[in-house]
Chains A and B, each alone.
Chain A
Amino acid sequence: MDKYGIHLRLVNEDDADFIIQLRTDPRLGQFIHATDKDVEKQKEWIRQYKLREKAGEEYYFIYYYKDEPVGVNRIYNIKENYATGGSWVCKPGLPIEVPILILIILREIIFEVLNLHYDKYDIRKKNFKVLRINNLFDPLETHETELDYYFELAKEPFEKKKEYILNLLNVNADGSRTIC
């Protein structure tokens, strides 16, 4: 799949190195679940994931910009009318548009491909930058724990906010005008 000048595909075992590199970076990985640096363990995790993917239970995406892998994210906890979009990690030094477009693509898959009604997800309370970006989408905060805020984003507000964000980034909604 290609959109906004970004290519994505489902993760496979060959991506283990890149995923470890991203998720074990102390700056990038501080607000996500810990990942073992052992490549074989990561490959085994991916093998188990591929079974869940085949069963339609989970989808793990890797994104490319200018033919280089730049980030990953995942759709899991797929239920009748909602799923969780998460595990969003991107390489440092990317063009400004890339990380947010990767997040938008993930939600387009939840709402337009899987035809679900909600993205239900949580964000660490100390992850200020991601919370600020998250506020852009105007989600509903459903509850909180000591560590996390829990949100619910419906398709309609997402579509409205997506239009605003793409406009802010000077990117066309149909992907025809992409990032430089």
Chain B
Amino acid sequence: MQMVAEQFVKDFVSVFDNADLSDFTADTRFKEHEEWSSLVALSVIIMIDERYHVRIKADDIRNSQTINDLYNRVIQELSNNDATAINECKVISAEKPEVVTKKI
């Protein structure tokens, strides 16, 4: 499970524009980061939905202080559906957003 938690931190950091992964751990109080904003928060919700197939609520972000709090919330939600789902979920690489969706 530890490896998955590390991946979650990596995914979490991927939604920031100017953040160094080495500055983050599971215990990082993410709302204290200078880049934290409501748009970043929304990006976190989207990232979790897309990569972990879990729909957390804005209140889950509001009630979380550390990345680990959020990770535990995702685990809890997954456990409600499938106890092993987090080990099976498809985790894609944590890069900048894919900008081009469809072209004429």
Q: Of all chain B residues, which has the CB nearest A137?
A: B101
Beyond A90-B38, A92-B37, A170-B58, is A136–B99 a contact (Cβ under 8 Å)?
Answer: no
Query: Which of A93, A96, A97, A141 makes the CB contact (< 8 A) with B100?
Result: A141
Asked if residues A125 and B39 are in contact (CB atoms below 8 Å), the reply is no
Interface residues of B (CB under 8 A from A): 15, 17, 37-43, 45-46, 49, 55, 57-59, 61-62, 96-104
Q: Is the interface of A mostly helix, strand, loop or mixed?
A: mixed
A100 interface contact, C-beta 8 A:
yes
Query: Which of B45, B97, B103 makes the CB contact (< 8 A) with A96?
Result: B45
Contacts of B43 in A (CB 8 A): 129, 132-133
Contacts of B59 in A (CB 8 A): 170, 180
Asked if residues A168 and B61 are in contact (CB atoms below 8 Å), the reply is no
Query: Which of B58, B96, B101, B103 makes the CB contact (< 8 A) with A95?
Result: B58
Asked if residues A125 and B99 are in contact (CB atoms below 8 Å), the reply is yes
Asked if residues A138 and B101 are in contact (CB atoms below 8 Å), the reply is yes
A48 interface contact, C-beta 8 A:
no
Contacts of B17 in A (CB 8 A): 128-129
Interface residues of A (CB under 8 A from B): 90, 92-100, 125, 128-133, 135-136, 138-143, 149, 152, 167-170, 179-180
Alpha-carbon distance between A3 and B64 when the two chains are bound, in angstroms? 28
Q: Of all chain B residues, which has the CB nearest A152?
A: B104
Query: Which of A96, A128, A138, A149 makes the CB contact (< 8 A) with B42?
Result: A96
Contacts of A125 in B (CB 8 A): 99
Asked if residues A135 and B98 are in contact (CB atoms below 8 Å), the reply is yes
Contacts of B37 in A (CB 8 A): 92-93, 129
Contacts of B45 in A (CB 8 A): 96, 168-169
Contacts of A138 in B (CB 8 A): 101-102
Asked if residues A94 and B38 are in contact (CB atoms below 8 Å), the reply is yes
Given A99-B39, A100-B42, A138-B102, list of 16 further CB < 8 A pairs? A90-B38, A92-B37, A93-B37, A93-B38, A94-B38, A95-B58, A96-B41, A96-B42, A96-B61, A129-B43, A131-B99, A132-B15, A135-B101, A139-B102, A140-B102, A141-B102
